[in-house]
Amino acid sequence: MRIAVGQFAASPDWKDNLAACQELTAEAVRGGADLLVLPEGVLARFTEDRHRIREVAQPLDGPFVTELLAATAGSATTVVVGIHEPSEDGRVFNTLVALRDGELIARYRKIHLYDAFGDLESANVRPADEPPVVIDVAGTKVGLMTCYDVRFPELARLLVDAGAEVLALPAAWVRGPAKERHWEVMVTARALENTCWVAASGECGPRNIGSSLVVDPLGTVRTRLAAAPGLAWADAAPDATAAARRTLPVLVNRRFAVDPTVIPLGAPQ
């Protein structure tokens, strides 16, 4: 599987961000990407006015997804990108869409909300209570996760238990003390403990770190970007995954299963 991870600095205008996604998609298609991972929540840039997430949200049949679908028509490249989608309770879902050849092939609504480091994503975003989502890309199973999800190893393990050999991880990782280190450690840990690939895309710009990267099943960073917009490439060979799992058989050696029961947000433990 040929993987591309792309990043850009989101604008307040969704049309500018659509154009950036279209440009990166076209570049990924030209380069023969099987999978392109773009950042989380790209409809608009969000800074202090987090409530604006509600105002700019679009349904899955809205103009952003519809036009990006058109950009994938006639191509075998699967594009995974995050938007905000209206929900029935007045908040929005933080939703990943997977697009290929003009069709919406899957969606994943974020489960773990970023109520941390002084932020409160749940004030405007509704947490999903959905099972993990795994899609087929060029004969390889790809699991979908979003940003803060990477801090919860049980979700990655559930996706791998469902057959995922690659985890696609769009993000908008907020800057802060040691946050860059957290990002690389968490992405690498999810790859290493599950002997899988992680293709992680981070929005860049004044608020977020960028730092998109692809990590292989033995924890080696195969490609990465810094803080500037761009596209990075890596080839995730199935035989490399199989070899890593023979060398480091943690999935066979483990002694505990992961319980897929969803705990209500804020419930006491």
> CA nearest 158: which of 248, 260, 265?
260
- Residue 224 pLDDT greater than 70, yes or no: yes
Tell me, yes or no, whether 205 lies in a domain: yes
268 pLDDT band, cuts 50/70/90, is low
Q: How far apart are CA 42 and CA 181, in angstroms?
A: 23
List 3's β-bridge partners, or say none: 35, 234
Q: Which of 110, 121, 165, 204 does the annotation list as catalytic? A: 110
Over the Cα atoms of the chain, what is R_g?
A: 17
Given a contact cutoff of 8 angstroms between Cβ atoms, the answer to whether 124 and 53 are in contact is yes
Q: Is residue 70 part of a domain?
A: yes
In a domain, residue 80? The reply is: yes
Task: Tell me whether residue 21 is one of the annotated catalytic residues.
Answer: no
pLDDT value at residue 52: 85
Three-state helix/strand/coil letters over 133-179:
CEEEECCEEEEECCHHHHHCHHHHHHHHHCCCCEEEEEECCECCCCH
pLDDT value at position 262? Answer: 87
What is the overall mean pLDDT for the chain? 95
Q: Is residue 76 part of a domain?
A: yes
Rounded Cα distance between 204 and 225, Å, is: 10
CATH of the domain at 157: 3.60.110.10
Q: Distance between CA 221 and CA 184 in Å, rounded?
A: 9
Q: How many separate domains does the chain show?
A: 1
In a domain, 262, yes or no: no
Q: What are the counts of helices (DSSP H) followed by strands (DSSP E) for the chain?
A: 7, 12
**Residues of the domain holding 27:** 2-242
Which member of 21, 147, 196, 204 is catalytic?
147
Assess whether pLDDT exceeds 60 at residue 269: no
**Rounded mean pLDDT of 233-238?**
96
The mean pLDDT of 51-57, rounded to a whole number, is 90
Domain-embedded: residue 250: no
Q: What is the mean pLDDT of residues 72-91?
A: 97
* 196: annotated active-site residue: no
239: pLDDT strictly greater than 90: yes
Confidence (pLDDT) at 154:
97
Tell me the pLDDT tens digit for each residue of 4-24: 999 999 999 999 999 999 999
Q: Which of 40, 85, 165, 203 is catalytic?
A: 40
State pTM to two decimals.
Answer: 0.97
Q: At residue 261, what is the residue type?
A: T
Examine the residue annotation and report whether 110 is marked as an active-site residue of this protein: yes
| Residue at 251 is within a domain | no
What pLDDT score does 47 carry? 65
Task: Give the three-class secondary structure for 125.
Answer: strand
For 87-144, the pLDDT digits (tens) are: 999 999 999 999 999 999 999 999 999 999 999 999 999 999 988 899 999 999 999 9
Whole-angstrom CA distances from 228 to 27, 119, 205, 208, 241 are 16, 25, 8, 11, 30
Q: What span, in angstroms and rounded, lies between the C-alpha atoms of 216 and 211?
A: 16
Percent of the chain topping pLDDT 90: 92
> Which of 128-132, 164-168, 171-175, 184-188 is the least confident region?
128-132
Helix (H, G, I), strand (E, B) or coil at 247: helix
Query: Residue 113's beta-bridge partner residues?
Result: none
Query: Token match 């205008």: residue?
Result: 13
